[in-house]
Structures are given as C-alpha cells and as structure tokens.
Amino acid sequence: MSVFVCPVCREKLNSCGGSLRCPKGHSYDLAKAGYVNLLMAQSSKSKRHGDDKAMVAARKRFLEKGYYSPLLDGLVSLLSKFIKDGDTLADLGCGEGWYSRGIMKFADESGMDIALAGVDISKCSAAFAAKSLPSAEIAVASTSSLPLGNESCDICLCVFAPFSMEEVRRVLRPGGRFVRAFPLEDHLIGLKKLVYDSVYANKVRTAGCDGFAVEDRLEIRSVLRLDNKQDIADLFMMTPYYYKTSRAGQEKVAAVSELETPIEFGIEVMRKQ
C-alpha cells in the first residue's frame, strides 16, 4: 500500500507493477527515476512548475558542501524530541531531498523505521529526490492539494517551500507536528545587497493558526563566507531572487568571486490539537 492517495477520488493507492492504482481504477505510472506524478491539471495553472533542472542541480551542489548544515542540525535536534519508530513524515516541497536524507540518516542511526513521503511540484526535484531516497515515496504534486489521506501523517516538514495550512491540518493526525523552516530578517542580506539597489529585511511570518499550538522554536544565525564563483552562482540560483532578477542583476552576481552574508533560519514546531 502506498502512503499516497488517488488525487481524483482520494482512495488509497496500491502498488501494481510499475504503477500505483486506486480501487476505482485510476492508475499512475512510476517514472523511471522512481517518482509518481500525481499533479492534477487544476493544481498547476502556473507556467513555472517549481525549480528547473539547473536550479535543482545548483541546490544539490551547494547543500552537499554543508553550507546549510546548521539548519539540518537544528531540524534534527527539534525532531529528535518527538519523532518515533513507525512515524510517517511528509516533506512538503522536498526539493532534491537533502534535508530528508539527513533526517532519515538520523532516524536510521537511532534504529527508527520512518515512512517518508516527499512531495514537490517540480519533476526535476522529484527525480533527484527519488533517486537519492530509494526507501521513500516521492510524488510530483502541489502542496496546495496534497495526495495524502486525512490524518495520515505524524509529521509534516516544510523547508523554504510554499504550503497550505488547511492541507497541513487535514493530513496531520491529532497530536501531529508541523515543522517549518523559514528565513529570518537578515537571511542572505549580503546577496540581496549585491543584486538590488535598495534592500529590505525579510518579513518573518509565523504560521500560527487555529487548532495548532506552538510547541518549540529555534533561531539559527551564522555568517556564510563564499570564496568562489561556482558556490556564489549556486546559492543565487537556489533562491527566488534568481528568477526575479534582471539580466543586469544576474551579471553583478556572476562578476564576484567572494561573498559574505548572514544566514538566518527560524524553525517552528506546531502541534495539532
């Protein structure tokens, strides 16, 4: 049985050779890379379907150098307080799966068997995630319409990705946790100063909402120093500034070979009542 449900009728999906099938006969083939495409046409009106291949590859190179390890360490330290053997964890906007890999490594080393469901709207991200997380189930889908059953997850994780609080509420079991990582005020302000003439601090939005209680919170602040063009280009490409910036702005980033910037992450754990 898959952790995913049919995006048409919300019935449970079963593995059937190289595809997933619901009792009503809707069938979804697994891609060669191992993910399943459960994106419904109406959930994907926009032309941009998440990160493209170059952006995903840039994020993978950058994260694998450990520059954002403090965030992974923070996530693991908070999760370790409540994650338990047999839990189902959904990574919403999982990207190429770097944080999920770190969390699964921790769970494995702690003797826990965790069912991981990764969801991302980008096929390139899903392909990378599926290849690097063979024990997980990965779907192309929107976080605004999750292919997950009601009250089917113990933990929803969301690292720098869009999410719908209604969907998080629907798929979490009572007592389940929503763990969200988000940028604090001065996160990447050094990069923004390079690109823009006037720079504003990030607006920090906590996701507090009815039916959830904030259980834990962590702020991580550090300074990132990059000393080569590849790492600077990779960092830029994994941010939303990349596709929002003019060619002139992109050229400014391409011209520098050193960058120093604060990196500031917030993590919030909210418990469903």
Residues that bind ligand SAM (CB under 6 A): 50-51, 59, 93-95, 98-99, 119-122, 125, 142-144, 159-162
* Nearer of residues 2 and 125 to ligand SAM, judged by Cβ: 125
Closest distance between ligand SAM and the C-beta of residue 241, in Å?
A: 11
Closest distance between ligand SAM and the C-beta of residue 23, in Å?
A: 26
Closest distance between ligand SAM and the C-beta of residue 51, in Å?
A: 4
* Nearer of residues 28 and 98 to ligand SAM, judged by Cβ: 98
Closest distance between ligand SAM and the C-beta of residue 268, in Å?
A: 15
| Measured distance CA(5)–CA(20) in Å, rounded | 9
Closest distance between ligand SAM and the C-beta of residue 166, in Å?
A: 13
* Nearer of residues 119 and 168 to ligand SAM, judged by Cβ: 119
* Nearer of residues 66 and 111 to ligand SAM, judged by Cβ: 66
- The DSSP letter of residue 111 is T
CA of residue 14 relative to chain centroid, distance: 25
Closest distance between ligand SAM and the C-beta of residue 222, in Å?
A: 16
Find all residues with CB under 8 Å of 87, minimum gap 6, and list them.
112, 114, 115, 154, 155
| Measured distance CA(134)–CA(106) in Å, rounded | 16
* Nearer of residues 129 and 189 to ligand SAM, judged by Cβ: 129
For tokens 């959904």, what's the residue? 90
* Per-residue tokens: 269: 């754990």
* Nearer of residues 21 and 253 to ligand SAM, judged by Cβ: 253
Question: What is the secondary structure of 177-239 as a DSSP string?
Answer: EEEEEEE-TTTTHHHHHHH-SS--PPPP-----TTEEEEEEEEEEEEEEE-SHHHHHHHHHTS
Helix (H) or strand (E) holding 174: strand 172-183
Cβ–Cβ < 8 Å for 178, 168 = yes
- Among all residues, whose Cβ is closest to ligand SAM? 50
Please give the C-alpha separations between residue 74 and each of 53, 94, 130, 147, 265, in angstroms, as whole numbers: 28, 17, 24, 28, 9
